[in-house]
Structure 1
Amino acid sequence: MSDMSSSGFSKLFKYISGNNFKEQKIAMTRPVLVEIKPNPRSTSDRLYKMGFYMSANDCPSPPMPKDSSVFIEHRQPLKVYSRVYSGFSDEDKMNKELKRLASSLNRIGKSYQTDVYFSASYASPFQLFYRRNEVWLVAVPDS
């Protein structure tokens, strides 16, 4: 797990463990998502945003976080293309799988956004075996 991932996960875990203004514990959901976008100020850096879904049924009004770097974001549903891979994920492995996914989609003529992609992790950071990871590309509706 990279420093960014470890730090982001730690902040989110503290939030669902009660580091919020209601001191409410919130059930952990999966996958943990990392949204990745190119950084407009740098050709080599990327902008990362880590999060997970909170069901409107389980948590209809999420408590405000105490940590100012943690925030609630309401998202619209996404249609994505995904590729599954196993083991511990790192940036090199994720990029390799992302290229494979893009290549497969290009071969069959499917369109996808090129300015954002997602990494989805379903396993606990402490799970050693049978880990499930995915890379997601956001589908562009057929014209």
Structure 2
Amino acid sequence: MTSTLFLLLTALTLMSCSVIGKRTAAEPPYSVEHRDGDFEIRSYGPVIVASTVVNGSYGQTSNKAFGRLAGYIFGRNIGKQKISMTAPVIQEAEGEKIAMTAPVIQAKEGSAWRMEFVMPEEYTMETLPKPLDPEISIREIAPRKVASVRYTGLHSARNIDRWSAKLTAWLDQEGYRAISPPRAASYDPPWTIPFLRRNEIHIDVM
């Protein structure tokens, strides 16, 4: 399959996650311990993520990292079972297809950005198919308490910095201690109308 055709099929498949802002992708469950407008303190259970790191700025790395992880969940993995997806369903001749979930998470790592896709709940570390791409790693994240702030619009580097500062200031005001750098969480694909997008900043707290 050519890279152009693969990207086209990926785009068509991802349309099942959002149609003009209608979000259908599953997301990891959480409970809200404290809410203040767009700010929340959440408790998440353990989750498994597929992760990749790409060197460069936020704008330079997003497409490459997303394409790499999309390739993994749409069949570039070691596995036999086929998993149905919401319409349209795209099937490939080899590998196992994994349902798309939300959010897509990005975090800065020095001069690079890490992007992660949260895997569906039914998988374990033992049952999740192994990626064929050596640049993708699979890891389990322990239960944690997460501060979040929600906003709409573009998930640009400028907005990430702006809302990270707002969340950090709110944590200081509320007396929480941050124990991780800010992470950007995207719940919608890039073609969703900006004012309908759900974007968040996450920071682990205690």
TM-score (ref. length: structure 2): 0.60
Please state if 1:17 is matched with 2:74. Answer: yes
1:110, distance to aligned residue in structure 2 (A): 1.4
Provide the residue aligned with 2:108 in structure 1. 36
Q: d(CA) in 2 for partners of 1:103 and 1:119?
A: 17
Greater per-residue strand proportion: 2
Contact 2:74 2:97 in 1 (8 A): yes
Q: Shift of residue 73 of structure 1?
A: 0.9
The correspondence of residues 95-106 of structure 1 with structure 2, limited to 5 A, is 95-106=161-172
CA contact 2:99–2:120 (8 Å) conserved in 1? no
Is residue 27 of structure 1 aligned with residue 27 of structure 2? no
Q: Could you list the runs of 5+ residues in structure 2 that have no partner in the other structure?
A: 1-57, 80-94
Q: Give the unaligned 5+ runs of structure 1.
A: 40-44
**Counterparts of 2:72 and 2:164 in 1: how far apart (Å)?**
30
3-state secondary structure, aligned to 2:200: strand
Equivalent residue for 2:131, pick from 55, 65, 70: 65
C-alpha offsets along residues 80-124 of structure 1, whole Å, 9 cap, x if unaligned? 1101110111111110000011111112221112x5221100001
Name the SS for the 2:100 alignment partner: coil
1:105 is aligned with what amino acid? L
Among 159, 163, 175, the alignment partner of 1:93 is 159
SS in 2 for 1:102: helix
Q: Which amino acid aligns with 2:78?
A: F
Counterpart-to-counterpart distance in 1, 2:60 and 2:72: 18
State the partner residue of 1:125. Answer: 190
Which 4+ runs in 1 deviate beyond 3 A?
none
Instruction: Describe the SS at the equivalent of 2:140.
Output: coil
The whole-number CA distance in structure 2 between the counterparts of 1:125 and 1:13 is 14
Counterparts of residues 101-112 of structure 1 (less than 5 Å): 101-112=167-178
Q: CA deviation at 1:137?
A: 1.1
8 A contact 2:76–2:132 mirrored in 1? yes
Q: Quote the Cα distance in structure 1 between the aligned partners of 2:174 and 2:67.
A: 39
TM-score, scaled relative to structure 1: 0.84
- 1:112 partner SS: coil
